[in-house]
Amino acid sequence: MRSAVTLDRLQAGDHVCWAFDDDTDPPGLRIVGEADLATRDALVAVVAGLTEDAAVEDRPITVDVSELSFADGAAAQALVCAARSAPAGVRVVGALTTLARLISLVGGDDVPGPSIHLDHTDDDVSGSSPEGSEQD
Amino acid sequence: MDTLADMAGRSDQSFAHLGLCYENLADYVAGVVPFVENALAEKTPVMIAVPGERLDLVREHLGAAADDILLADMAVEGRNPGWILPGVLLDFANRHPDQPVAMVGEPIWPDRSVDEYPACVVHEALINEAFAGRDGAVLCPYDVANLEPAVVKDAHQTHPVMIANGATQSSAQFVDPYATVAEFRNPLPNPPAVAAAMTYRHPADLTAVRRFVTKEATRAGFDSARATDVAVAVNELASNTIEHTAGGGRIAVWSDDEAFICQVADGGHIADPLAGYVLPPPSERRGRGLVLVNRASDLVRMHTHSGGTTFRAFFYR
């Protein structure tokens, strides 16, 4: 199990170490909570750690967002920016359709190179099609 | 036929924003098809974003040439007038950064609602500013036989150059686009008395804001995906208040036969008329919130002045 960071428990300036020990394969981290203005500094800390560690990592880094229950546009943008600095790219796992769409909108699918790769779980209903509604 | 550069209405830029008045489908074809064929002959990338049945018509007349064109159903892709610039026209232009582009964009049709129409005029006015200095052209067809005369008059106000009956003329009624934007972003009527409301002020309030609008959207019959769209849009608007104004804001939500409606009001003033219509470059960390609101909503109306700003986002049933 990848180690988790819970956004609302982080303080501004906290250093988040992504610490890729050999037991964690693929290397990465789970982000837990809601990524909004209230936790933006925490997310910046997470992303700073990602950027630092990604620079020396030759495998794609996995960011597990399946327990991220909300992400705003700035959060999506922060992930995309971090992904750009990772030589082997970033794999986002468990993104709800909403976050996937936000990432796409902020340019995450427009970047040449490995960059950001989305593994959809689609555990919320997709897009705005009314017929696709499974009850949650 | 003139080149794109020849058609530019103002000498300080090479971008042409052309209104095309058509009385019937023959007019339509006679106006749109040569515009497209000339652009293709110059190897200019072309997009046609018009309502579906018009799309079928031009596709039929262009034949094999249509294969080289990006076709979009404006009634779908551009249903939200505020999404046409960032999501359709600029999106296309930005994919061809070093070339002129030619676009046919028909944002206004007779079925546009009274709520949508002012946002359509704002869109038309902002085209002039969003593409200022860019090389290319947008041709905007107007169904003058079926649109109100006032709509045709507004087209003359938002397009520097108008084409009617085969003649291309600069529009004497064209005015400063930002004056038109201010005119059509007029004050919104008060929410109905039955609207549910809440206030917010601090970042920690955002969770409650999202919970409130999600609950109300669900109560209005929205499924969880659509309720999430509502939460995303309102969260961005409320975040803007908290980040950029000294005070808090107030949310009111209600439903009518067509839509679930969220109003977000605060004491701030949005000085840039293009905010929400232009995506910043990918490297820029800020400036996407209002674009996201346009993406998640079916319609966004806005009124801003030195004393405050009111957004009204519509989510169609």
ipTM of the complex: 0.86
Cα–Cα nearest to B254, from B203, B190, B187, B196: B196
The more confident residue out of A103 and B241 is B241
- Residue B206, chain A, CB below 8 Å: the answer is yes
Residue A40 CA to residue B128 CA, distance in Å, equals 35
Smallest CA–CA separation between A21 and chain B, in Å? 31
Alpha carbon A83 to chain centroid, angstroms: 9
CB A8 within 8 A of CB B207: no
Q: Which chain A residue is nearest to residue B287, measuring alpha carbons? A: A74
A70 contacts B223? CB cut-off 8 A: no
Q: How many whole angstroms separate alpha carbon B264 and alpha carbon B314?
A: 12
Distances (CA, A) of A119 to A92, A94, A113, A116, B81: 6, 6, 17, 10, 32
The helix/strand/coil state of B21 is strand
How far is residue B20's CA from residue A13's CA, in Å, rounded to a whole number? 57
Tell me which of A115-124, B84-93, B179-188 is least confident.
Answer: A115-124
- Chain A residues lying within 8 Å of B292, measured CB to CB: 73, 102, 105
Question: Where does residue A79 rank: exposed (0-12), middle (13-18), buried (19+ CB within 10 A)?
Answer: buried
Cβ of residue A51 closer than 8 Å to a chain B Cβ? no
The reply to whether residue B295 touches residue A38, judged by beta carbons under 8 angstroms, is no
What pLDDT is attached to residue A45?
82
Mean pLDDT, range B91-107, rounded to an integer: 95
Q: In this complex, do A98 and B289 lie within 8 Å of one another by their Cβ atoms?
A: no
Could you tell me the pTM of the whole model? 0.89
pLDDT at A18: 62
Q: Choose the closest CB to A105 out of B223, B286, B292.
A: B292
Selected for mutation to probe chain A from B239, B243, B290 (highest A CB count within 10 Å) is B239
Q: Is the pLDDT of residue B285 over 90?
A: no
- Cis amide bond preceding B100, omega within 30: no
How far is CA A24 from its chain centroid?
17
Determine the average pLDDT of the residues in B122-139: 96
**CB of A70 closer than 8 Å to CB of B230:** no
Which phi and psi (to 5°) does residue B275 adopt?
-60, 130
Where is average pLDDT lowest: B41-50, B54-63, B189-198, B279-288?
Answer: B279-288
Q: Of B75, B74, B83, B72, give the one whose Cα is nearest residue B296.
A: B83
Q: Are B253 and B265 in contact (CB under 8 A)?
A: no
Reply yes or no on whether the pLDDT at B10 is more than 60.
no
Helix, strand, coil abundance in chain A, percent, nearest 5: 35, 20, 45
- Per-residue pLDDT of B145-171, as tens digits, reads 999 999 999 999 999 999 999 999 999
Output the six-digit token pair for B35: 């515009």
What spatial distance separates the first Cα and last Cα of chain A, rounded to whole Å? 25
Between B96 and B285, the more confident residue is B96
Closest-CA distance, B20 to chain A, in angstroms, reads 31
Chain A touched by B97 (CB under 8 Å): no
pLDDT score recorded for residue A51: 77
**How many residues in chain B?**
317
Average the pLDDT over B66-80 and give the result: 96
- Provide the β-strand partners of residue A120: A95
Kindly provide the b/e burial profile for residues B203-218, where b requires at least 16 CB atoms within 10 angstroms of the residue's own CB: bebbbebbebbbebbe
Q: Give the count of Cβ contacts less than 8 A between chain A and B.
A: 81
End-to-end CA distance of chain B: 45
Place of tokens 């995506």: B279
- Give how far A14 is from chain B: nearest CA, Å: 19
Mean model confidence pLDDT for chain B:
94
The pLDDT of A14-36, averaged and rounded, is 72
Count the Cβ atoms, other than its own, within 10 Å of residue A92: 27
The residue among B162, B173, B159 whose CA lies nearest residue B31 is B162
Specify the 3-state DSSP secondary structure of B124.
Answer: helix
Residues on chain A touching B295 (C-beta within 8 angstroms): 101, 105
Instruction: Categorize the per-residue pLDDT at A23 as very low, low, confident or very high, splitting at 50, 70 and 90.
Output: low
